[in-house]
Amino acid sequence: MALRFSSAMQNFIAENGSWKDAMDNGSIEIYTGTQPATPDLAPTGTLLVTLTSSAGAKTNEVRPVGVVTLAGGTTTGDDVTALTIKTVDVLGGTVAWNSSLTQTATDCALAINRNPKNKWVVATSSGAVITLTGLPGVGALLNSAALACTGAGSMSPTITSTTFGSSTGGGVVGVDAINGLRIDYNAAAGVVTKDVTQTWSGTAVGAGTQTAGWFRFKGAVVDAGALDNATPPVFLRFDGAIATSGSQMNMSSTSITNGALQTLSTFSFTVPAA
């Protein structure tokens, strides 16, 4: 067996962040049996234990959302000149009027996602509405940050709430993850390890004594483990096999007894070299 990465994880690494960003504040679930063909699938087997920071109950991250609606534009020159969060222009420059409010909103979302200086949000559009969703890891960072959008000509963008992450106007308040597993800032030769200040552990919940067969690393954002068939996919996951040696996760014993505290003493991840 080998590590298998979800579609969302692959997309995130390709477009939005680092391996550390993808894994920080996640959790590890250990199951019986054999890992699924892909992490996009729901888990198989019996859940034996969930590893968090010091076996604490994990609060999942909630990604903040801000909403902007384009209005007033009808013709050439009715451009969107800036879209700022905390006075930082995530738009990356003027987006020209393009035939309709719907198409101009689509162009704005694409400009935001293409902007190399935008490290906070991913944008989508529907009609004239532009939705800005915080990237995994942003959490509560941008709550109450000023949200503004300006236009030229008759373009007059409207914002129901002028603060990013507000619970009004379609916005969502961001929440930081608690008791998630953190990756250290120590990459060397493409290898990262667990945060040495944390204990990664969890109390076994499977009935009796059962055999660990595989694990799933899940990102910070809520993930109930269901099939990820969204477009685009959303769950940051990777799976691997478990054995006493020569596997993606090696345990001193693969037997896990209900109620026993399980501790992962060391963790390292090697970025694929090819």
Question: Where do the domains of the chain lie?
Answer: 4-59+179-270, 65-164
Residue 242 CA to residue 214 CA, distance in Å, equals 5
With a cut of 90, say whether residue 2 has pLDDT above it. no
Mean local confidence (pLDDT), 184-210: 96
Tell me what percent of the residues of the chain surpass a pLDDT of 90. 95
With 90 as the cut, is the pLDDT of residue 43 above it?
yes
Average pLDDT of every residue of the chain = 96
Q: Which amino acid is at 20?
A: K
At 187, the pLDDT band (50, 70, 90 cuts) reads: very high
**Strand intervals (E) in the chain:** 4-5, 27-31, 47-53, 65-69, 80-85, 88-89, 121-126, 129-134, 145-151, 163-164, 191-193, 200-203, 209-211, 214-218, 237-243, 249-250, 255-257, 261-264, 268-270
Tens digits of residue pLDDT in 8-17: 999 999 999 9
Q: What angle do CA 226, 228, 229 make, to 5 degrees?
A: 130
Tokens of 259: 């109620």
Nearest in space to 58 (alpha carbons), one of 29, 19, 17, 18: 29
> Which tokens hold the place of 248?
């993606």
Tokens representing 120?
A: 């906070």
Per-residue pLDDT band for 206 (boundaries 50, 70, 90) equals confident
Specify the CATH architecture of the domain 65-164: Sandwich (2.60)
Closest by Cα among 11, 60, 52 to 194: 52
Q: What is the mean pLDDT of residues 53-82?
A: 97
Q: Inform me whether the pLDDT recorded for 1 exceeds 80.
A: no
